[in-house]
Amino acid sequence: MTQQFTFSYRLIAAPQDLSAPDQALLTAANAALSRAYAPYSQFQVGASVLLESGLIIEGNNQENIAYPSGLCAERVALFYAGANHPQDPIVKICIVAQGDLMPEGALLSPCGSCRQVMLESEARQKNPIEVLLVQRSGEILVLETVQNLLPFGFSK
Ligand code: THU
């Protein structure tokens, strides 16, 4: 028997087509990106996390000369939220990136470790986290839940 896993996502043509609150979240992600510490990869990533209270947490990639010691933007933001606002559910996360590491038309989407952490954040609060993936073309992919980014994920 063959089974299928499919999911739907929204494709927003450009940042100005986002709602005003989503544009604010994107602005925060871009601000975070501008403060990224990525001297080794020259690939800057910014993540902004909207909490239910309205608070926006910003994170960016933090690299290290001992490469594996660095951390991705998404996890910097999510761990900060978990460390400081554990009772304030995460509503959505917006991710932006810039740099030549990825070829021009490549899809910008979080790494496996960040997906795993996002999945646990979602499971922990028992409410979906919307994911906004900003592409270099200006398009934005909007996913309803982290589960769509990590099908058959390792989760309780
Ligand atoms: N990076 C992120 O911040 N998020 C991801 O999802 C993938 C990769 C960072 C890690 C490293 O600092 C740089 O991008 C190049 O891999």
- Tens of pLDDT, residue by residue over 5-51, are 999 999 999 999 999 999 999 999 999 999 999 999 999 999 999 99
Centre of ligand 1 to C-alpha 41, Å, is 8
120 domain residue, yes or no: yes
Ligand 1 atom nearest residue 113's Cα: 6
Task: Please state the domain count of the chain.
Answer: 1
For the ranges 30-34, 78-82, 100-104, 112-116, the lowest mean pLDDT is seen at: 100-104
Instruction: Return the percentage of the chain with pLDDT > 90, whole number.
Output: 97
43 domain residue, yes or no: yes
71 domain residue, yes or no: yes
For 88, counting Cβ atoms within 10 Å of its Cβ (0-12 exposed, 13-18 middle, 19+ buried), the class is middle
What residues flank ligand 1, with Cβ below 6 Å? 38, 41, 43, 45, 61, 63, 70, 72-74, 101, 110-111, 114
Structural domain including 28 reads 19-148
Q: Quick one: pLDDT band at residue 63, thresholds 50, 70, 90?
A: very high
CATH of the domain at 43: 3.40.140.10
98 domain residue, yes or no: yes
7 domain residue, yes or no: no
* Phi (first) and psi of residue 105, to 5 degrees: -90, 5
Nearest to 48 by CA among 19, 21, 27, 18: 27
For the ranges 47-51, 57-61, 65-69, 152-156, the lowest mean pLDDT is seen at: 152-156
Ligand 1 atom nearest residue 45's Cα: 3
How do residues 127-137 score in pLDDT, each as one tens digit? 999 999 999 99
Q: Annotated catalytic, 74? A: yes
* Phi (first) and psi of residue 62, to 5 degrees: -125, 105
137 domain residue, yes or no: yes
121 domain residue, yes or no: yes
| CA–CA separation, 58 and 28 (whole Å) | 7
Q: Are 18 and 125 in contact (CB under 8 A)?
A: no
- Give me 54's structure tokens: 């309205």
Catalytic site residue from 58, 63, 74, 130: 74
Q: Quick one: pLDDT band at residue 98, thresholds 50, 70, 90?
A: very high
pLDDT of 156 strictly over 90: no
